């Protein structure tokens, strides 16, 4: 009975410390021989590794988005270009402004193109929206 009470107290400590539910905290302790310090150390190491992996994925996506450009062309010339990430953030945080800019481009016979990398000559001349 005393051992079970100690196990429950350890499970509660791990649950409070990590935010895990009762079953997950129990499994973590059981996997580590009911050593409280070892279980917490293993949990922190896993958590840190997962955070680093997520950070690397986000960094990779942002790098790819930064390499992709949105190009707005007038009749002959480039009106402006910006990274796709900026365009997406603008559409998310200011959707009315993004809609207004898009409508203005369409009314002025502009075309929108996506270009990967820094080479604007490789852009598809038909564009995504061609008026």
* Cβ atoms of 70 and 113 closer than 8 Å: yes
Q: Which residue stretches of the chain have pLDDT < 70?
A: 1, 118-131
Per the structure, the complete domain to which residue 108 belongs is given by 65-122
58 with 69, same domain?
no
pLDDT at position 22 is: 93
pLDDT at position 92 is: 87
Work out how many domains the chain is built from and give that number.
2
pLDDT at position 122 is: 46
51 with 101, same domain?
no
Q: Following CA atoms 61, 62, 67, 72 in sequence, which dihedral angle do they give, to the nearest 10 degrees? A: 110
User: Does the pTM of the predicted model rise above 0.85?
Assistant: no
Per DSSP, the chain holds a count of helices (H) and strands (E) of 5, 3
Q: CA-to-CA distance for 58 and 52, rounded, in angstroms?
A: 10
75 with 90, same domain?
yes
Q: Does some domain include residue 38?
A: yes
52 with 25, same domain?
yes
56 with 70, same domain?
no
Of 32, 63, 94, the one marking the end of a domain is 63
* Residue 118: CA count within 13 A, CB half-sphere: 0
The enclosing domain of 16 has a CATH number of: 1.10.8
pLDDT at position 20 is: 93
44 with 81, same domain?
no
* Cβ atoms of 11 and 3 closer than 8 Å: no
Of 44, 63, 82, the one marking the end of a domain is 63
Q: CA-to-CA distance for 92 and 74, rounded, in angstroms?
A: 25
State whether residue 125 is helix, strand or coil.
Answer: coil
DSSP label at 124? -
Q: Does some domain include residue 21?
A: yes
pLDDT at position 53 is: 96
59 with 17, same domain?
yes
Q: Does some domain include residue 130?
A: no
Closest residue by Cα to residue 84 from 71, 96, 73, 100? 71
Q: Does some domain include residue 128?
A: no
């Amino acid at each position: 009975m005393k051992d079970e009470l100690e196990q429950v107290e350890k499970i509660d400590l791990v649950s409070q410390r990590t935010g895990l539910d009762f079953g997950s905290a129990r499994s973590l302790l059981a996997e580590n021989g009911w050593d409280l310090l070892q279980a917490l150390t293993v949990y922190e190491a896993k958590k840190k590794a997962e955070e680093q992996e997520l950070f690397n994925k986000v960094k990779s996506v942002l790098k790819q988005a930064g390499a992709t450009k949105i190009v707005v062309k007038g009749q002959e010339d480039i009106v402006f270009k910006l990274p796709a990430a900026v365009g997406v953030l603008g559409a998310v945080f200011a959707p009315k402004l993004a809609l207004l800019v898009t409508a203005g481009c369409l009314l002025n016979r502009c075309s929108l193109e996506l270009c990967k990398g820094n080479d604007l000559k490789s852009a598809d001349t038909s564009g995504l929206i061609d008026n």
